[in-house]
Amino acid sequence: MLLALAAAAIISILVTVGIVVVLVSEGATFFTEVPLTEFFTGTEWFPVEGKYGVLPLLNASIVIALIAALVAVPLGLGSAIYLSEYAPERLRRVVKPVLEILAGMPTIVLGFFALDAVTPALQNILPGLGLYNALAAGIVVGLLITPLISSLSEDSMRAVPNAMREGAFGLGATRRVVSLRVVVPAALSGIVASIVLALSRAIGETMAVTLAAGTVPNLSWNPLEGMQTITAYIVQVSKGEATRGSLQYESIFAVGLLLFVVTLAINIVAVRIVRKYRTVYQ
């Protein structure tokens, strides 16, 4: 019986091994036909013509993740400071779960929201904005990751001992000064880690960006244009009938491998940040 339990625990390792083996082996077949240099330096992604330069896809993922961060960092940090330092306890207990609803929202719903409500609203402000644009995608992905930032940041702010706040109040500091100069710096490792983790989530996000940013690869930094992310490309190929073993079929594993490596690297950075800069208070 114990053996069965141990086996179950080991299955989780097999999942990771499976992911790596699948991505690397299928990706390797892809890279025998498309050289790595072309993959990483090519500026055109146009599989039908055999052009496999990943920069447009990677660029789109980064642009949308950055827009998402621009939305989510102020909203998330503001909420975290409000909930941890200002809000009465009873209000906090209501607001926090409400914010977390956003984190549990299926991403398809956010995609629908972007296409159906956010883009039309943006078109009122910016006439000429296309139906598919990175801005709306970035905004809804930002909404998705806001609770991630606010929840984790608030946890680390609340872990700052009250004695530090009281000490600062005793020296005549105001609540704003205590929040910004005492609590935020003391909780900084947790705050930064939450932002980094949120970025990794934003880069891996799929449905909202597929629906809102469109399916045309476009190497551009202009958030008003449509662009296809790595994840959106995988969806686009999967929707059609790419035959197993074709170069297109293998290309989704190659870009999947890139996505896996990027998100894993970001997660490792987050763990390092916490480990290196964390201050433990009694």
- Using CB under 8 A as the binding rule, the residues of this chain from 73 to 102 that contact other proteins are 74-79, 81-83, 85-87, 95, 98-99, 101-102
Q: How far is the CB of 195 from other proteins (least distance, A)?
A: 14
Q: How far is the CB of 144 from other proteins (least distance, A)?
A: 11
Residue 213: both structure tokens together:
């940013």
Q: Are 221 and 196 in contact (CB under 8 A)?
A: no
- Does 172 engage in binding with other proteins (CB under 8 A)? yes
Q: Are 103 and 76 in contact (CB under 8 A)?
A: no
CA 130 – CA 89 distance, rounded (Å): 44
Q: How far is the CB of 243 from other proteins (least distance, A)?
A: 12
> Which range, of 22-30, 40-48, 49-57, 272-280, touches other proteins by CB under 8 A?
22-30
Within 10 A of 34 (CB to CB), how many other CB atoms are there?
Answer: 19
Per DSSP, the three-state class of 91 is helix
Q: How far is the CB of 230 from other proteins (least distance, A)?
A: 9
> Which range, of 4-12, 28-36, 48-56, 274-282, touches other proteins by CB under 8 A?
4-12
> Which range, of 28-36, 45-53, 155-163, 258-266, touches other proteins by CB under 8 A?
258-266
Q: Are 104 and 121 in contact (CB under 8 A)?
A: no
- Does 150 engage in binding with other proteins (CB under 8 A)? yes
- Does 205 engage in binding with other proteins (CB under 8 A)? yes
Can you say how many angstroms the Cα of residue 246 is from the centroid of all Cα atoms in its chain? Answer: 30
CA 152 – CA 29 distance, rounded (Å): 40
- Does 109 engage in binding with other proteins (CB under 8 A)? yes
CA 23 – CA 35 distance, rounded (Å): 17
Q: Are 45 and 59 in contact (CB under 8 A)?
A: no
**CB-wise, 98 or 280, nearer to other proteins?**
98
> Which range, of 33-41, 160-168, 187-195, 261-269, touches other proteins by CB under 8 A?
261-269
- Helix H or strand E segment including 46: strand 45-46
Q: Which of 93, 175, 181, 272 binds other proteins (CB under 8 A)?
A: 175
Q: Are 80 and 92 in contact (CB under 8 A)?
A: no
- Does 133 engage in binding with other proteins (CB under 8 A)? no
- Does 184 engage in binding with other proteins (CB under 8 A)? no
- Does 211 engage in binding with other proteins (CB under 8 A)? yes
Q: How far is the CB of 171 from other proteins (least distance, A)?
A: 11
Q: Taking Cα atoms as reference points, which of 92, 233, 74, 61 lies closest to residue 158?
A: 92
> Which range, of 18-26, 38-46, 49-57, 272-280, touches other proteins by CB under 8 A?
18-26
Torsions phi, psi of 46, nearest 5? -145, 75
- Does 193 engage in binding with other proteins (CB under 8 A)? no
